Amino acid sequence: MFTWIITQQVTIVAIDQWIITVSHPWTTPLHIGQSIAHDGACMSIDSYTDTTYSFFAMKESFLKTNFWTKQIWDKFNVEYALLPTDRLDGHFVSWHIDTTWNITWLDNQNDWSKKFTISFDPSFDCLVVPKWSITLNGVSLTVWEDISEWKATVRIIPQTLEMTTFWTLQKWDLCNIEFDLLAKYVTKFGRVEK
pLDDT for residue 146 is more than 80: no
| Residue 53 burial by Cβ neighbours in a 10 Å radius (0-12, 13-18, 19+) | buried
How much of the chain is in helix, strand and coil states, percent to nearest 5? 20, 40, 40
CA–CA distance, 77 with 40 (Å, rounded to integer): 8
- The candidate with the shortest Cα–Cα distance to 138, out of 77, 93, 68, 62, is 77
Q: What pLDDT shows up at residue 172?
A: 93
Residue 22: band (very low, low, confident or very high) from pLDDT cuts 50, 70, 90: very high
Average pLDDT of the chain to the nearest whole number = 86
Q: Cβ atoms within 10 A of the Cβ of 25, count?
A: 10
3-state secondary structure of 26: coil
Residue 187: band (very low, low, confident or very high) from pLDDT cuts 50, 70, 90: confident
CA–CA distance, 100 with 94 (Å, rounded to integer): 16
CA–CA distance, 52 with 183 (Å, rounded to integer): 37
pLDDT for residue 159 is more than 50: yes
Residue 85: band (very low, low, confident or very high) from pLDDT cuts 50, 70, 90: low
pLDDT for residue 56 is more than 90: yes
35-59: average pLDDT: 93
Q: What pLDDT shows up at residue 72?
A: 97
Percent with pLDDT over 90 in the chain: 41
Residues making up the chain, counted from first to last? 194
Q: Which helix (H) or strand (E) holds 14?
A: strand 8-16
pLDDT for residue 15 is more than 70: yes
- The candidate with the shortest Cα–Cα distance to 3, out of 113, 96, 80, 117, is 80
Domains of the chain: 8-80 (2.40.30.20), 99-193 (2.40.30.20)
pLDDT for residue 176 is more than 80: yes
CA–CA distance, 81 with 36 (Å, rounded to integer): 6
